[in-house]
């Protein structure tokens, strides 16, 4: 480890997965390590036009938001764990270029490349990892959403990679399997809402076609907190 506590630069290539990469790993990895990063909050605030939705009806997938920026927003889920759990993968040296190309295609819809220290759950020294993040300035970023409207949107969305709700429920399951403390309340709350929608639909209490308030695909920054709360939860 470097003297300042930061991970040392190495020739190894590691990638951090905090969404579907947890249960759908990249090819050609030779180590998979559970652990976490800090300084971020995981939220279903990224529109998906290419995997869990379509250009006409985008689904929702997770991105990471810098905690300092998230703290300036009005979020109905007003708390978040200090640790964002996920998995880090070490890619075989002779396959790095191939995997980078694969990931650039898989994560291209609004995500950009960043690097962050990853803390292995076993207490090993931090690892410098590449991570794909949909930052607030990308046009697929939605910003804060009303949880019930977001759950309904996820429930009805579908894309080339499958049902949006399967992505949500798979993420919840994958996180819970990493560690006793690796759950994410935002993900769990949305999952519970989706399960309740499914229960009501199955028992004839709800017609999905009756959903009238699917969430906006646009994130609008506003100057006052009161206006922000009104516009971002539309």
Q: Which two tokens stand for residue 127?
A: 């690892």
Which conformational region is residue 80 in: left (phi greater than 0), alpha (psi within -120 to 50 degrees), or beta?
beta
Q: Alpha-carbon distance 169 to 183, whole Å? A: 12
Length of the chain: 234
The answer to whether 107 is a known catalytic residue is yes
Among residues 101, 107, 181, 227, which one is catalytic? 107
Q: Which two tokens stand for residue 64?
A: 């990471």
Q: Alpha-carbon distance 158 to 167, whole Å? A: 10
Q: Alpha-carbon distance 66 to 108, whole Å? A: 20
3-class DSSP string for 124-149: CCCEEEEEEECCCCCCCECCCCCHHH
Continuous segment of H or E residues that includes residue 84: strand 83-91
Q: Kindly give, in sequence order, each residue whose CB lies less than 8 Å from that of residue 25, ignoring residues fewer than 6 positions away.
A: 17, 32, 87, 89
The four Cα atoms 148, 151, 152, 158 give a dihedral, to 10 degrees, of 170
Which residues are known to be catalytic?
A: 107
């Amino acid at each position: 480890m470097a003297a300042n506590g930061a991970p040392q630069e190495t020739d190894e290539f590691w990638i951090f997965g905090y969404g579907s990469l947890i249960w759908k790993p990249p090819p050609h990895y030779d180590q998979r390590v559970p652990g976490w990063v800090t300084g971020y909050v995981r939220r279903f605030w990224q529109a998906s036009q290419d995997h869990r939705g379509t250009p006409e009806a985008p689904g929702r997938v997770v991105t990471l938001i810098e905690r300092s920026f998230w703290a300036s927003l009005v979020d109905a889920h007003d708390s978040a764990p200090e640790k964002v759990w996920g998995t880090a993968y070490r890619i075989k040296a002779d396959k790095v270029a191939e995997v980078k190309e694969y990931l650039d295609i898989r994560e291209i819809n609004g995500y950009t490349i960043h690097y962050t220290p990853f803390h292995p759950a076993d207490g090993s020294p931090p690892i410098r990892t590449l991570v794909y993040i949909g930052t607030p300035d990308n046009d697929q970023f939605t910003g804060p959403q009303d949880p019930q409207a977001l759950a309904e949107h996820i429930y009805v969305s579908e894309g080339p990679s499958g049902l949006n709700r399967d992505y949500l429920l798979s993420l919840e399951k994958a996180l819970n399997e990493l560690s006793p403390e690796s759950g994410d309340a935002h993900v769990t709350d949305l999952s519970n809402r989706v399960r309740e929608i499914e229960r009501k639909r199955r028992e004839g209490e709800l017609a999905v076609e009756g959903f009238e308030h699917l969430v906006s695909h646009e994130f609008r920054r506003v100057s006052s907190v009161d206006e922000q709360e009104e516009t971002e939860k539309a």
